[in-house]
Structure 1
Amino acid sequence: MGGAVDQRINIRMALATEVIQNLAQAGYRACIAPIERLAELEAEYNAITSRDVWRRSPHLSQHRFDFTRPTDFSVKSIIVVAAPVTPVRLGFKYRGTHHSFEAPPLSGDYDQDVARMKKVITDTIGPLGLHVADSNLPTKVLASHTGLLQNGINNMGYIPGMGSFFRLTSFFSDLQPSDNTWNEQHLVAPVCRECGLCMDACPTGCISQEVYDVGRCLSLLSKEPSDFPDWVKKRWHNSLIGCRVCQQICPMNRSVLDEAANGIEFSEAETEAILSGVPFDTLDQATRDKLRYFHLAAFYSILPRNLRLLLEKSGEPV
């Protein structure tokens, strides 16, 4: 009897390894955490969101996650999957001159990635009567605990071959994890302890070997709807949304940045409309589609301000 039980456990564990391997063949990286860690994950997330800097930030405080498990099957694991994304620049025509600015490396292609991930998992475990369901969990924290990523001292996650340019998705499943790998502490990439390039390059000085001060991070400040603090200098701005300085200089991103791509172009009329703050719903359909595709629609209320700063930095009177 005991031998039969052990055999079934070994088969389920081998299946988890097969899921990870099949996702890797499709271009993704994955880890599987036991569902017993969900309560720890929720407690840690609640501790993070109770911090003053989180509660005071309009951008951070809007994040919402759901730790509720599906009820139509017995959940045994959380599958975390990383998909590579390409660093991107978007073009803007303004007063007869073409400008190219860094943008978040997000696009509508990622929705197709999520569907593809789920299909790979379903094709692997579905024939055995197992299930997969979408989840909305704090994936970066989860991926750090599982060892899927390493943490930089700049608060970015890094995955070999992807650097910090990836998107994370998680799924609930009744698949048995192959092991119980779980890092109690969030481990910092060893290379960070010997490097320090991001500390020297960070315009706001929010990075050190001891602490990352999110309240001074330009990436966060550029996403807030309020005016920038007086101490933030205009010349520091370098991206439509967020900040790319520490990622661009990081050795772990070197090969990924070589694959950076130019995205779509915004015409002179489109640029003028964005700068003037035309309500999103009254923009031309083509302009709205571009903004949605590159996940800028959610940031549209602050996009005119940030675009204006970048144009001024480029020497354009706006």
Structure 2
Amino acid sequence: MSILDHLEKHGCYGRFVSIDHLQDLRNEVRTLHAEGQLDNDFFEEWLQSRVDPKTPRGMSKAKSILVAANPAPVLIARFEWSGRTYDFTVPPTYGDYLRASNRTWRLLKGALAPKKYWIARAILPLKLLAVRSGLACYGKNNVTYISQLGSFYTLAALYTDYVSPEYHWQDKKMLSKCAVCKACQKACPTGAIGGDRILIHAEKCLPRFNERPSSKPFPDWIDPKAHNSLIGCMQCQRVCPYDREIIKWRELRARFSEEETDYLLKGKFSGDHAAAMDRRLKRAGLDLTSFPRNLEVLLESCAAETHDQ
């Protein structure tokens, strides 16, 4: 059984890329930035660390990069507030990054056994790597999709000195239906998805703002009704035909009482209580840095809808 077959047997889908393409990957992101296709603030906040990361110990041994997709559901965090129960979503890509990375490591190590190979985590532009490897295709919404899971997965990448008998590297591809479908463009609450290129307009994309620390308020131009998840945004995935068969896959990961919700809304976090709360939030792909802002805006939106009714 091949290494990739072993991974697939366990529901993990992967491709090997030669280490020779590592610089190609980094240069491609730098070129997009230099050409103005990547907003400068977005590049510095989210991509700089993946283009110029710290090199892991033993990097000179690296022969291959494994990029892998692990299944991941929409996560639900449940809050009690003002006598009501609210379920708020966290998109699939947020919840299990560390778990996906650890799982991929274990599966690769097991597949390579009994031989001992060097393995190290790779901090890279994962979506671009997945598309270049042929594992995934871009959607018009700049989300990546694989045939087995739609967009419901978490990517991870590893360096290894294992030499794969087959490497993959190809041009970027977009899903075939995207050429004639405008569902995500119409659903995008901030107009970030254009029809002229694969890249979205990241400077307009909602996650860019709700992933920031809570101390940074949302810009006035964002409609309060645009907010739909505790972090990130699910609107384009909810309407995508490639996710139609899997969109209802959800998993309740965290529950918060009225008292705990009140604590999160006050925004004063310190000591053991804050540490314990942060651990609970991490099970749902969250942490205290986005509170109380993200929760406040969702609760306010729900209250406004109730009032309008």
Residue in 2 that maps onto 1:246: 236
Q: Which residue of 1 aligns with 2:220?
A: 230
**Structure 2 CA distance for aligned equivalents of residues 67 and 180 of structure 1:** 25
**Structure 2 portions without partners, runs of 5+:** none
Instruction: Determine if contact 2:137/2:173 at 8 Å carries over to the other structure.
Output: yes
Q: Which amino acid aligns with 2:294?
A: N
**Contact kept in structure 2, 1:84 and 1:167, CA below 8 Å:** yes
Q: Is the 8 A contact 2:96 2:154 kept in 1?
A: no
CA drift at 1:257: 1.5
2:118 maps to 1:135: no
The change in CA–CA distance for 1:247 and 1:124 in structure 2 (over 3 A counts) is same
**More moved, 209-218 vs 222-231:** 222-231
CA distance in 2, matches of 1:74, 1:165: 33
Conservation of the 8 A alpha-carbon contact between 1:58 and 1:224 = no
**Which segment is superposed worse, 222-231 or 167-176?**
222-231
Query: Does 1:255 find its partner at 2:245?
Result: yes
Matched, 1:30 2:20: no
2:254–2:283 CA contact under 8 A, matched in 1: no
**Greater mean alpha carbon deviation, residues 101-110 or residues 137-146:** 101-110
Q: Does 1:277 align with 2:263?
A: no
5 Å matches for 1:1-318?
A: 18-48=2-32, 53-55=39-41, 59-60=45-46, 63-64=49-50, 66=53, 68=55, 70-71=57-58, 74-105=61-92, 111-184=98-171, 186-211=172-197, 212-225=200-213, 226-281=216-271, 283=273, 286-297=276-287, 300-315=288-303
The unaligned stretches of length 5 or more in structure 1 are 1-16
Question: Would the alpha carbon gap of residues 272 and 282 (structure 1) be closer, same or farther in structure 2, given more than 3 Å must change?
Answer: farther
**Structure 2 Cα separation of the partners of residues 57 and 244 of structure 1:** 22
Residues 285 and 131 of structure 1, relative CA distance in 2, 3 Å threshold: closer
For residue 310 of structure 1, report the CA deviation from its aligned partner.
0.7
Distance 1:55 1:106, change over 3 A: closer
TM-score between both structures, scaled by the size of structure 1: 0.84
How many aligned residue pairs are there?
298
1:176 Cα offset (Å): 2.1
Whether the 8 Å contact between 2:119 and 2:158 is mirrored in structure 1 is yes
Tell me how large the CA RMSD over aligned residues is.
2.6
For 1:223 and 1:72, how far apart are their aligned partners in 2?
A: 31
Alpha-carbon offset, residue 130 of structure 1: 3.7
Partner Cα distance (2:44, 2:217) in 1: 12
1:12-56 Cα offsets, whole Å, 9 max, x none, are xxxxx7000000001100000011101111212333555562336
1:220 deviates by 1.6
- Preserved contact between residue 80 and residue 168 of structure 1 (Cα < 8 Å): yes
The 3-state SS of whatever aligns with 2:245 is helix
Change in Cα spacing, 1:274 to 1:251, as seen in structure 2 (3 Å) is same
> Which has the higher Rg, Structure 1 or Structure 2?
1
Q: State, as a whole percentage, how many aligned pairs show the same letter.
A: 30
Structure 1 position 107, deviation (Å): 7.4
Q: In structure 2, how many angstroms separate the alpha carbons of the residues matched to 1:206 and 1:314?
A: 24
- Report SS of the residue matched to 1:310: helix
Measured after TM superposition, the shift of residue 104 of structure 1 is 3.5
The answer to whether the Cα contact below 8 Å between 1:59 and 1:223 also exists between their aligned partners in 2 is: no
Give deviations 1:237-290, integer Å, cap 9, x for gaps: 111111110011111111221222223211111111111102254535542321
Q: Which amino acid is the alignment partner of residue 20 of structure 2?
A: E
- The separation in 2 between residues aligned to 1:282 and 1:106, in whole angstroms, is 28
Confirm or deny: 8 A CA contact 2:150 2:243 kept in the other structure. Answer: yes
Whether the 8 Å contact between 1:28 and 1:82 is mirrored in structure 2 is yes
